[in-house]
Structure 1
Amino acid sequence: MITFDPSRGSGLWDRLMERLHLWAELGVRADVAVCATPHTGLTGLRPPRPHQLHLLTARTSSLATRHVPRWVDDVAPDVVYARLSLPWPALALAAKRAPLVLEVHADPIVESKYRPVSYRAVSRIFTRAVLARASGFVFVDPELASSRTFARLGRPSVCIPNGIDLPDGPSPEPLKHGQRPRVVLVAGADEPWQGIPKLAELARAIPEFEFHVIGSQAGFSHLTVHPQSSGTDYTDLLSSMHVGVGNLALEQIGRREPSPLKVREYLRHRLPVAIAHDDPDLNDSDPSLHNFGYGFTVTPEVVDRFREFVVRVAGTSCTDALRDSVGLLPKERARVEFLHQFSESVGAR
């Protein structure tokens, strides 16, 4: 169950379809509920068999969550597996009808500080009630399991960082004679933890590189901004780059150990990557990875080290070991095994 529309250019729908393909191979059938408006881009789309898509619609995604309890009654699932974005009260009602396991990507209280006032209010009012009724948690970041918000609950949990399907694909374009290396950050939105101002500082300090941002409305000089890009246009644009950059300001929301999907997309395209966090899957000693360091500031030394990295790797592929570390199949096996214990408890009752 997803309580927001994942079709709006974020890539989440594609990631969900990758998961469902593997779940089918692993013997799992999912009824996928998405809370959205009647104008959602998901209309007419179908997940792979044997899964089914259920669009719960209203004027807004948040209002559509009111359909969740009735949907759970109709479907009668063994387990409700929901991505936690905001703790809508419908999640607590769903937990009265079936075991509720929440996939947690961030602390809702911390992240809500950067959202509109209405989001902050929802988090403050409903977080405790929803989390108290959850049967278990799947944490994307290891540190979330030990955070004050979740550790006190004592529920079964597992940490499964984000993964991605890794089909065979072309290597990055070789660097042509006289061509400037192309560095890209896929932002998706202009949240402060994307760190676009830091990328702009790097761009000012290294004018011999091209710096690109995809999915932003930012107006920083020295950056080439691509406000919207999807489908083949997005794939072609990413394939034309030489180095992919992850979130550069995660210290603003206290996330030291995330596993950003954008970094996994870079690796799927075989791009060397630069990050500014402690990714649970990635080995900092890998020659095709550069880590600025969590909470870094742009200093002359930082600029020099990044310049050297890009010059060395531009036009080459990331190592197979780095790419393979984010593969999806072992992660989905672990997820299904974890969820199975809750369906067994239902059968026992």
Structure 2
Amino acid sequence: MRIAYLTHFNLSPESGVAKKIASTIRIWRDLNAEVVLYVITRQADVADWALSLGGKAFIYTGGSYSVKKLSAIGRATKDILRWKPHAVYLRRDLVYPGYVQLAVQLPLVQEVNSDELAELKLYSRTQYLYHLTTRNLLDRRTKGWVFVTRELCAVHPYFSRLPGRKIVIANGIDLERFPHLPPSAAPQPTLAFLGHPAPWHGVDKILRLAQMFPGWRFHLIGVAEEEFPDSPPNVFFHGRLSFSEYLPILTESHAAIGTLALHRNHMHEASPLKVREYLALGLPTIIGYKDTDFPQGAPFLLELPNVENNVDFAADAILRFVEEWKNKRVPRSEVLHLDLKKKERERLRFLKEVANAL
């Protein structure tokens, strides 16, 4: 089966999303699929990353609606149409003419990772209005949908009504590529967060935790100090780091912190990549949502209510959780169902079903 994996990507090649894409492509190839990664980007390091995966990069300059970006998407579209894959796998993006053209001529499957309209409303009114008025041009032509949560697939007022085949595949992780860490030897409770300071991640809540527990240490990986001036002295900002650079920080951490403010984009369920990485490494984790892969919860996940003041009234629960897990790690046997190999077999079967249905 020939698959064109298409993504508009301007994050770090070290990000969780980049790791997920790379692992997906490698596993699909191991399962005898012929895959070409098509990346639309304005970053030279992302272009190099795409080429290292045997993919193709289409570089542009300018903003979301620049002529050069439209041209880059147009070139990628022409290349895909010439190749004639059995399916196009698109990581959901704003709508562009090239995407619509692909959906008209080839079976196109979209991967939906969040309520992007709610996220855009927090960032850009222009992009929010553009996406609100144009998304149906692509969505009504889309043949298949992969959602990372049941909430997005079955409950969301827009996605639940869309035509096309649908499947829920929560985010996973390639477990064999991550070591299982020994318990931390740090003398004082140490917690880590991995990600960027998006509103729904709740970095401001982590700063409140640091004030509530001045004897603990909080490491924020992927967050710059200038973004949060006047932070408590027990908060340590590390900015963007590679895996080899931040692994020692996670090794000394007793627990990790996941998404704490999903309510800010009106969602209640998620399967964040960073939480999969924490669990693969063995770190018990504090979260503020329902995890798709742990619908009944788990002893190593402290699930706070998905409300604005969750960390404030859960201080005692957080203290007990960190104390309980301070000298332990999450057994690898408890997270085997997160392994990406099983999930990618399921995703590949779904792509074949969509392609064969036409």
Report the Cα offset of residue 279 of structure 1: 0.3
Deviates further, 144-153 or 129-138 = 144-153
Give the equivalent residue in structure 2 for 1:55: 57
Q: Distance in 1 between matches of 2:25 and 2:307?
A: 35
Deviates further, 209-218 or 56-65 = 56-65
Contact 1:72 1:97 in 2 (8 A): no
Q: Distance in 2 between matches of 1:80 and 1:298?
A: 41
> Are residues 1:213 and 2:220 paired?
yes
* CA 141–88 in structure 1, closer or farther in 2 if over 3 Å, else same: farther
Pick the aligned partner of 1:164 from 143, 154, 173: 173
The 5-angstrom pairing of residues 334-349 of structure 1 reads 334-346=346-358
DSSP 3-state at the match of 1:169: coil
The 5-angstrom pairing of residues 31-42 of structure 1 reads 31-37=36-42, 39-42=44-47
Give the equivalent residue in structure 2 for 1:197: 204
Q: Distance in 2 between matches of 1:98 and 1:330?
A: 26
Contact 1:78 1:342 in 2 (8 A): no
Report the Cα offset of residue 47 of structure 1: 5.2
Contact 2:282 2:329 in 1 (8 A): yes
The 5-angstrom pairing of residues 278-293 of structure 1 reads 278-282=290-294, 285-293=297-305
Contact 1:172 1:271 in 2 (8 A): no
Give the equivalent residue in structure 2 for 1:97: 105
Give the equivalent residue in structure 2 for 1:12: 17
* CA 124–296 in structure 1, closer or farther in 2 if over 3 Å, else same: closer
Contact 1:283 1:322 in 2 (8 A): no
Q: Distance in 1 between matches of 2:171 and 2:285?
A: 16
Alpha carbon RMSD of aligned pairs, Å?
2.1
The 5-angstrom pairing of residues 16-165 of structure 1 reads 16-37=21-42, 39-43=44-48, 46=51, 52-60=54-62, 62=64, 63=69, 64-146=72-154, 147-165=156-174
Report the Cα offset of residue 276 of structure 1: 0.8
* CA 20–61 in structure 1, closer or farther in 2 if over 3 Å, else same: farther
Q: Distance in 1 between matches of 2:243 and 2:314?
A: 34
* CA 205–38 in structure 1, closer or farther in 2 if over 3 Å, else same: closer
Report the Cα offset of residue 191 of structure 1: 1.3
Report the Cα offset of residue 282 of structure 1: 2.1
Q: Distance in 1 between matches of 2:274 and 2:184?
A: 22
Report the Cα offset of residue 6 of structure 1: 4.4
The 5-angstrom pairing of residues 193-272 of structure 1 reads 193-217=200-224, 218-219=227-228, 220-221=231-232, 222-272=234-284
* CA 108–169 in structure 1, closer or farther in 2 if over 3 Å, else same: closer
* CA 57–42 in structure 1, closer or farther in 2 if over 3 Å, else same: closer
* CA 136–200 in structure 1, closer or farther in 2 if over 3 Å, else same: same
Runs of 5+ consecutive residues of structure 1 not aligned to the other structure: none
Aligned residues: 340
Return the TM-score normalized by structure 2.
0.88
Return the TM-score normalized by structure 1.
0.90
Q: Distance in 1 between matches of 2:37 and 2:326?
A: 41
* CA 244–235 in structure 1, closer or farther in 2 if over 3 Å, else same: same
Letter in 2 for 1:171: L
Letter in 1 for 2:184: P
In terms of fraction of residues, the more helix-rich structure is 2
Give the equivalent residue in structure 1 for 2:3: none
Letter in 2 for 1:152: R
Runs of 5+ consecutive residues of structure 2 not aligned to the other structure: 1-5
